[in-house]
Amino acid sequence: MRLAMIVIALVWCAAVLWHGWTTLPHVPLDVSASDPATVEALNAARLNHALMYAAAALLPAGAALWLSRLLGRS
């Protein structure tokens, strides 16, 4: 059971990583990429995106591993 939960957690993390990579914020072609305010906004959006996807990947995977450990003891 523990091995199955590890595999499920890894697959979950990989799926969230792929979805996060494909939806990474970018600068559209009709916006100036050299404007300092645009660069700052893009960096803030990418940081927020990375933190949200990291939480979406790691929290459920960690909970699944914790639950498998808890159920394995009884």
Q: Is the pLDDT of residue 36 over 60?
A: yes
Q: Is the pLDDT of residue 74 over 60?
A: no
Instruction: Name the band, by pLDDT with cuts 50, 70 and 90, for residue 29.
Output: confident
Work out the burial of residue 58: count CB atoms within 10 Å of its CB; fewer than 13 is exposed, 13-18 middle, 19 or more buried. Answer: middle
Phi-psi region of 27 (alpha: psi -120 to 50; beta: other; left: phi over 0): beta
pLDDT (tens digit per residue) in 37-48 = 999 999 999 999
Q: What is the pTM assigned to this prediction?
A: 0.83
- Give the whole-angstrom CA distance, residue 18 versus residue 24: 10
Mean pLDDT of 52-57: 97
pLDDT over 90, % of the chain: 69
Alpha-helix runs per DSSP H in the chain: 2-22, 36-73
Q: Which residue has the tokens 């499920």?
A: 8
